[in-house]
A and B are shown apart, each in its own frame.
Chain A
Amino acid sequence: MKTAIILVIVAVGSVLFHLLSPWWWTPIASNWAYIDHTISLTFWITGAVFVAVVLFMAYCIFRFHHTPDRQAAYEPENKKLEAWLTVATAIGVAAMLAPGLFVWGQFVTVPKGATELEIVGQQWQWSYRLPGKDGKLATTYTSLISPENPLGINPSDPAGRDDLVVEGGEVHLPLGKPVKMLLRSVDVLHDFYVPEFRAKMDIIPDMVTYFWITPTRTGTFDVLCAELCGVGHHIMRGKVVIDNETDYRAWLEQQKTFAELTTPIRKAEGETAPLPAAQ
């Protein structure tokens, strides 16, 4: 009896905790509300199953606990019941998987016309690069990275001169415009993680990964690293600011181009430097 009651408390208590506790997701700031809906749906389906299973166990313990004159039933199998349960489970699983895959389809399809933002992770800070007036990012090579050229931008690539480089600070994004984040690392794995965006992706050295979002509300949000990257993993922080159009323009104006950041001498050297072997 005691055991059955405790199990009921576990089931009911879990539901009450879910409904009443103050811990819940942070308000969303991107277009991925779909993901939140899929999580909600999954909570409902799995919650119902959990409560049903635990309450059924409690009932069994209450109803069929040992007494001297009790005899258990002998029933090796019940094909009909087992088939019925299998089909019901398959339906429940499909009900979660179908919307999940549908939203994943959107997640992996970057809308045409998305602007690009390059995010570079290194132990243990974030840097960013935006295409300049030409709308194009220059090629980069890990082997070109040096104190003067921390992002390894190819100096011989004409698209690179106007690229805007933002080191260590905060980055701004315009409200309501889809952005494709191009993720690059110079050393180990990192993961660009802004809880309010819902989306995240690992960053891999010598490779470019991506995800996309459309910011849906202005504000300043924490950037964290979500892939263990050494002892400084937990201090690899940054800020991303979502601006309206005018604030964003004003911020853009202040950013330095690659050409401005490299001294004229370096630049002259760079222009004659041979391209590294393609990797």
Chain B
Amino acid sequence: MVDATHGGMGTIPAAEVPDVELYHPHSWIEKYVFSQDAKYIAIQYSITALAIGLVALVLSWLIRLQLGFPGVFTFIDADHYYQFITMHGMIMVIYLLTALFLGGFGNYLIPLMIGARDMVFPFVNMLSYWVYLLAVLVLAASFFMPGGPTGAGWTLYPPQAILSGTPGQQWGIILMLISLIIFIIGFTMGGLNYVVTVLQARARGMTLMRMPLTVWGIFTATILALLAFPALLVANIMMLFDKLLGTSFFMPAIVELGQQMSYRGGSPILFQHLFWFFGHPEVYIVALPAFGIVSDLIATHARRNIFGYRMMVWAIVAIAALSFVVWAHHMYVSGMNPNFGFFFATTTLIIAIPTAIKVYNWILTLWRGNIHLNVPMLFALGFIVTFVNGGLSGLFLGNVVVDVPLSDTMFVVAHFHMVMGVAPIMVIFGAIYHWYPKITGRMMDEGLGKFHFWVTFLGAYLIYFPMHYLGLLGVPRRYHDLGTTDFIPPNVATLNEFITVMALIVGFAQMVFLYNLFTSVWKGKLAGGNPWRATTLEWQTPQTPPAHGNFGKDLPVVYRWAYDYSVPGAKEDFIPQNQPPSAATA
């Protein structure tokens, strides 16, 4: 395995990669709209995800306004409040983060980083985007239907989700379920593509253990998603049957507001198992691409090989496997057999070990590095801080008995925002600043980027760190109004106001980011092909932005791993993966 680090051509099997027959566009529409080029599809995915993500961001302000200043904004009544949190949560997790990491970064980076011309099934890849767009439109339509979108909470727990005590029970819940079903269909098309492309279309010499960690992260996350989404799919279909056909998959005998209903014998807990069998891996579907990308950001901008590459790969694989046996830690107080608690607490805390290894290796990469504190690196640092913070609060919630007082309080809200809200978003921003020059040929503005980073990082930390203590105090989550209680002191209202103000400030910083993102397309400094002096293949393309087919006439041949930074005796402080051994040393 020594050649995982120092690649001699002799030691690797020469996998001949057949050139993909490319589908070249014949018209404007085929080039820009119904494009089959993964890079265009990536941009379509990203813009759609950011657009619907903006809706979720605005919803978060409305939620926060109600929590910070209850009673002041009278249009946010209880119905609206529950609709806002539900749509905010679902959009953020599925339609923004999942779509952006896999559909956006996956499409852009997988073919370029492994030295392929495109995804192996370009047509299905294109279809995947259009199906995703349809899912987004169906979801957005629910805002305009009678009764509005569903307010069942992003977990959609039955029986409540389909009964009349919950807002959006006429159309909202139906459209939500249908939209998710469409999303899963679209994702499956894309997902199969990513997996097959990584397995089949790598350039000569690109062994699995030479792949950049970005590809490892996205690849593993995609496999997770392909295995996890079916659980959500069946749960959604069954709930749709319960709602529309009167079946009783998840519905036991119930009296709704004084009326006996005709449901019999269904199991609400079964839905929760299916939901979290998907829902926990979902956390890692978002986290693993972030882990991979941040590893590459840190290595590149600290000019140092990622520390313990093989350990990093195995940690990704171990986390992925373990993530399928921890789901019921979301259900410690669900009323399931309490003896499950022993098992799931143990598996959950075991997952902390490979996760901790990843953190150690990131910070050990900084150690003895040559750290350039540019915008992508800053976001990577912000990721480590927020991820470690959120991961550690997970040790509270994972340890079954400690979860009992904290579950369903603001502690949980603080925890999951830190670990799967703020932390992955830090990586997304870092990645956008990092790859923007490849995508557009221009740099984003550094000053605005630093402003964006500091306000977002410090602001988000100030929102969520104190929020843990509200939960510890006992403030419940999903409360439209705290009302009066004996145990919540008046200073809680002050803290809530502060959090709301911070949330608005952080929101404003995102507008600065969007301004920078759009204006840099023409105003940014010209970047050249490899502005960060990085080793991976996407930076070695003959054109920037890369043309259709990515690599010109000949596909690259890979001679080394992705982390030859600051190799002793080399001419430069980086050696591209496609540089033959003889040319590397002086």
Contact = CB atoms under 8 A, between A and B. Distances in A.
Contacts, number: 325
Interface string B257-277: 110100011001100000000
A107 B404 contact: yes
Interface string A123-164: 110000000000000000011010100001000000000000
Interface string B351-368: 011001101110110111
Interface in B328-368: 333-335, 338-339, 341-342, 345-346, 349-350, 352-353, 356-357, 359-361, 363-364, 366-368
Interface in B284-335: 302-305, 307-311, 333-335
Given A65-B373, A71-B370, A189-B160, A104 B165 contact: no
A201 B401 CA distance: 12
A123 B472 CA distance: 26
A239 to B, nearest CB: 9
A226 interface: yes
B353 A90 contact: yes
Contact of A201 (B333, B339, B480): B333
A4 to B, nearest CB: 9
B580 interface: no
B368 A56 contact: no
A158 to B, nearest CB: 24
Interface stretch (A168-176, A190-198, A253-261, A262-270): A190-198
Interface in A74-103: 74-78, 81-82, 85-86, 89-90, 93, 96-97, 100-101, 103
A88 to B, nearest CB: 9
Contacts of B360: 82, 85
Contacts of B485: 222, 224, 237
A220 B165 contact: no
Interface string B561-573: 0010111100001
B123 interface: no
A152 B78 CA distance: 30
Nearest to B454: A6
Nearest to B309: A76
A50 B480 CA distance: 33
Interface residues of A, number: 103
A101 B252 CA distance: 32
Contacts of A111: none
Contacts of B311: 77, 82
A10 interface: yes
Contact of A50 (B392, B396, B565): B392
Tell me what chain A mostly uses at the interface: helix, strand, loop, or mixed: mixed
Can you list the 8 inter-chain pairs with the closest CB atoms, starting with the nearest? A195-B474, A230-B165, A206-B252, A209-B335, A23-B469, A46-B392, A73-B368, A100-B399
29 contacts: A6-B458, A7-B381, A7-B385, A21-B466, A23-B469, A57-B381, A57-B384, A64-B368, A65-B372, A72-B304, A72-B370, A73-B369, A75-B305, A96-B399, A101-B345, A104-B341, A123-B256, A123-B257, A145-B255, A145-B260, A188-B165, A189-B268, A201-B335, A204-B268, A207-B335, A222-B485, A231-B78, A234-B480, A234-B483
Interface of B: 5, 78-79, 82, 151-153, 155, 157, 159-160, 163, 165-167, 252-258, 260, 264-265, 268-269, 302-305, 307-311, 333-335, 338-339, 341-342, 345-346, 349-350, 352-353, 356-357, 359-361, 363-364, 366-373, 378, 381, 384-385, 388-389, 392-393, 395-396, 399-402, 404-405, 407-409, 458, 461, 465-466, 469-470, 472-474, 476, 478-483, 485-487, 489, 491-492, 495, 563, 565-568, 573
Interface of A: 3, 6-7, 10, 14, 17-18, 21-26, 32, 34-35, 38-39, 42, 45-46, 49-50, 53-54, 56-57, 60-61, 64-67, 70-78, 81-82, 85-86, 89-90, 93, 96-97, 100-101, 103-105, 107-108, 122-124, 142-143, 145, 147, 152, 183, 186-189, 191, 193, 195-196, 198-207, 209, 220-222, 224-235, 237, 279
